[in-house]
Structure 1
Amino acid sequence: MTKLNQILAVEKGVKSDVQRKVTDAYHLIQKAPLLSGISRTYQPIDDEGEALPPESTRVQVQAEQVLRDVAVTLTRLFDVTATKDVANCSARADVVVDGNPLLRDVPVTYLLFLEKQLTDLHTLIAKLPTLDPSETWALDANTDTWRTEPVKTTRTKKVPRNHVLAEATDKHPAQVQVFNEDVVVGYWTRVAFSGALPQRRVNELLGRLTKLQEAVKFAREEANGTEITERKIGEAVFGYLLG
């Protein structure tokens, strides 16, 4: 009994072989000289005339035979494709995660679709932004975002001050140096917000997705192991076309 995965294994080779042979046939029938033949003989007007040998060219390509050869080639492809497509309608399997069926009786064609979508989803999740690990974050129920604890910092302002280097005397004025002093004039309270995710959440999502991807692949392999009946379609098609 043939299995679906066996048909899938040969399908690519059959398609490639058919494409090559049909292309060769197409180019062959474009070569008019190969489809043409001639035969001619020469007879002098009298016995005194020059005798020339006969000339002939054989027909090398017969269009009808080319068609029959193409039909044989395409019959194999028609049969393989029909067998695969009919089998795909009945090839099904459950997607089981951690021993529990998550999806039941899923067709193999949908499993292939699902496998591709999960690959794209994995790429998206792996690129999700994560919270800065240097901060301490808590979920803010009011804004549904993550926030840090308030951090208080000072705001300063430069205020000019005088520094007396020498006191004034009867003979000399005081020597004074002017400098700026940073004076606290207020306080900033900073709270950061973020819509990113904790790294542990991203890791959890990737772990779940990886399990699901493995389960879908396993289900696909199981579905592809379904026993099938080979279909004979090409003979009927070309029996009608060339009959």
Structure 2
Amino acid sequence: MARLNQIIAVEKGAKTRSQRELTDIYHALQKPALLSGISRTYRPKDEEGETLPPESTKVQVKAEDALRDAAKALTRLFDVVATKDWANREARADVVVDGRTIVESVPVTYLLFLEKQLTDLHTLVGKLPVLDAAESWSYDEGQDVWRTEAVETARTKKIPRAHVLYEATDKHPAQVETYTEDVIVGTWTKVAFSGALPARRVNELRDRVEKLQSAVKYAREEANAAEAPERHVGEAVFAYLFS
């Protein structure tokens, strides 16, 4: 008795072969000359007349034969696919990660679906934004985001000043030099917030997805190793169609 993975392996070849044979049959049926035959004999008017050899062309393609050939070409394919699909109904396996059963008795068709979805999830996790490692982050429960420690920076303002170089006298006015001075007028307190994730969390999620991917692949292989009793449906189908 074949196993499901063996049936899956031969299915593609069976499809290709039957498609090729059907194409050949179809093309042959489109050539009227192959379906036509003729027989001609010549009889002179009298005994003195010229005699000519008979002419004949045989029928090379018969429609009924073409139907039988089509049935033969497709019967094997019908049986292979039926064997696979019937086996798929019974092929199941548990998805187990680190000894823990995540999902029990999963059909092989669903395992294939799950495998595709996990590939997409792996891509998503790989694109998750990560908190800037140059900052020190803590979780703000109230705002449900990550935040940094408050950092204070001074705000300065340029204030004009005057410096007397020479005092005024009765003969000369005072000489004054003007300049500006940066004076602290306040303090900025900055806190950065982020919706990104710590690198540790992203790595943990990636590891979980990859472990589950491996478990699903293992389960698929196990399910595909199930026995696949042969199913014969093609003969019944074509016995009805072309009888």
Fold shared per TM-score above 0.5: yes
When residues 91 and 169 of structure 1 are mapped into structure 2, their CA distance, relative to the original with a 3 A threshold, is same
Pairs within 5 Å for 1:90-169: 90-164=90-164
By how many angstroms is 1:21 displaced?
1.5
By how many angstroms is 1:112 displaced?
1.0
- Residues 160-205 of structure 1: per-residue CA shift (max 9 Å, x gap): 2334556656665555443332221111111111111111101001
Letter in 1 for 2:94: D
- Percent identity between matched residues is 69
Distance (Å, rounded) in 1 between the aligned partners of 2:132 and 2:97: 33
Distance (Å, rounded) in 1 between the aligned partners of 2:61 and 2:139: 80
Letter in 1 for 2:156: T
**Structure 2 residue 75 is matched with structure 1 residue 79:** no
2:30 alignment partner in structure 1: 30
Distance (Å, rounded) in 1 between the aligned partners of 2:16 and 2:84: 16
Letter in 2 for 1:64: E
- Residues 120-160 of structure 1: per-residue CA shift (max 9 Å, x gap): 11111111111111111111010111111111111122222
- Residues 60-104 of structure 1: per-residue CA shift (max 9 Å, x gap): 111111111111111101100110111111111111111122211
1:192 alignment partner in structure 2: 192
By how many angstroms is 1:45 displaced?
2.5
Distance (Å, rounded) in 1 between the aligned partners of 2:22 and 2:187: 83
1:214 alignment partner in structure 2: 214
1:55 alignment partner in structure 2: 55
1:41 alignment partner in structure 2: 41
1:16 alignment partner in structure 2: 16
Structure 2: gaps spanning 5 or more residues: none
Letter in 1 for 2:30: Q
Quote the RMSD (CA, aligned, Å): 1.8
Distance (Å, rounded) in 2 between the aligned partners of 1:56 and 1:159: 120
Distance (Å, rounded) in 1 between the aligned partners of 2:26 and 2:166: 110
Deviates more, 1:42-51 or 1:30-39: 42-51
* Number of corresponding residues: 243
